[in-house]
Amino acid sequence: MGEPRSGRPADRRLIVNPVSGEADHVETVHRLAALHQFPVVETERSGHAVDLAKQAAAEGVDMLAVCGGDGTVHEVIQGLFAVDALDTVTLCVVPAGTENIIAEDLGIDGLGEGFEVATGGERRRLDLGVANDEPFVMSAVAGLPAEVSDATTGGLKQRFGSAAFLIGGLKAGQTFDGLDVTVDARGGGDEVVWTDEALAVVVGNLRRFGTAGGHANAEDGLLDVEIIEQMPGTALRDAIEGRLLGRECSHIRTFETTRLGIDSLVSEPIRFSLDGEIRTFETVQFGIVPQALTVRVGSAYTPVP
Ligand SMILES: Nc1ncnc2c1ncn2[C@@H]1O[C@H](COP(=O)(O)OP(=O)(O)OP(=O)(O)O)[C@@H](O)[C@H]1O
């Protein structure tokens, strides 16, 4: 239980979302938490994990585990970021959600492994993306992929795994109008200025960008950006097949940057999914805080996918 950072035993706490996933994890989590000496607090409403994370930091907790899905992990990071506690708190993820993409990217599979990693996993420092003033660890996605989540059924996911997104993309692409945007990356890294209609803009930080199928390194100080240009249906199918087969596609522009601005060219704001949570922006500035988040990772984790 010794924690090298402060030279004294860590003050531990576990924030549990009891309604994540199938909501059948609570009893097991309490048992495992007692075994591993994590006092438990449960969320009582949406957004509560933000406050509980702030409270944990204020009370001197320096090992904070979060049990839930990507949304709950996102809320806890939001809370720690808001009170500037990322330097003093190590985050641990115990997956209990529906998708658990963040946990999977951190090499953590299941409740039992979550607790093992929380008590003995390697510590890494990961970059955090920031959209205006909200942090994200995995990705910020606007356009088709956000729509695709609706079009991608559980059955497809079971049969095709992450490729289900691409199949769902074909369905959603038939009805999605596109995003009229200007994308301006002239801060650090690749310089790109692009104005047109996009099917999607994906800003990725962690290994797998949500369901969008992209890849990033969360330890390189850079955001990985993909602009998927509007294209006719047949080209979309080719692009999706190309992505499945790992081929380059002329309609997908990829670059790395430390800063990025995206402006809507129409009166409608742009709907973004930040680590799976929906936000709307008329204009958004993205940045990155290198190595901001200290997190325990499983043995399957590697920074580069
Ligand atoms: N006690 C609660 N009652 C109702 N909603 C809650 C409660 N606690 C948290 N929430 C909300 O539950 C939502 C879903 O949580 P979470 O992301 O952990 O699970 P999930 O959606 O099943 O998993 P994933 O995001 O990995 O697909 C979050 O938006 C959170 O704000």
Condensed to tens digits (0 to 9), the pLDDT of residues 12-46 reads 999 999 999 889 999 999 999 999 999 999 999 99
Write down the CATH number for the domain with range 136-289.
Answer: 2.60.200.40
Mutational test site, ligand 1, from 45, 72, 99, max ligand atoms within 8 Å of CB: 72
Cβ 223 vs Cβ 175: under 8 Å: no
Ligand 1-lining residues (CB < 6 angstroms)? 17-21, 43-48, 68-72, 75, 97-100, 276
Alpha carbon separation from 6 to 88, 138, 199 (Å, rounded):
9, 28, 48
Amino acid type, 156: L
72 Cα nearest atom in ligand 1: 18
Q: Which among 268, 243, 295 is positioned nearest to 103, based on CA atoms?
A: 295
> With a cut of 0.90, is the ipTM above it?
yes
Region of 27 (left: φ > 0; alpha: ψ -120 to 50; beta: rest) is: alpha
Q: Do the two domains 2-120 and 136-289 of this chain adopt the same fold?
A: no
Ligand 1 centroid–CA 170 distance in Å is 28
Mutational test site, ligand 1, from 29, 46, 157, max ligand atoms within 8 Å of CB: 46
Ligand 1 centroid–CA 70 distance in Å is 8
Write down the CATH number for the domain with range 2-120.
Answer: 3.40.50.10330
Banded model confidence at residue 190, pLDDT cuts 50, 70, 90: confident
Nearest CA to ligand 1 atom 28: 71
Average pLDDT for 92-100: 94
Show me where the domains of the chain are located. 2-120, 136-289
Ligand 1 centroid–CA 18 distance in Å is 8
What integer pLDDT is reported at residue 185 of this predicted model?
92
Distance CA 3, CA 5 (A): 6
For residue 271, what are its two tokens?
């709907």
Measured CA angle at 9 (ends 119, 78), to 5 deg: 65
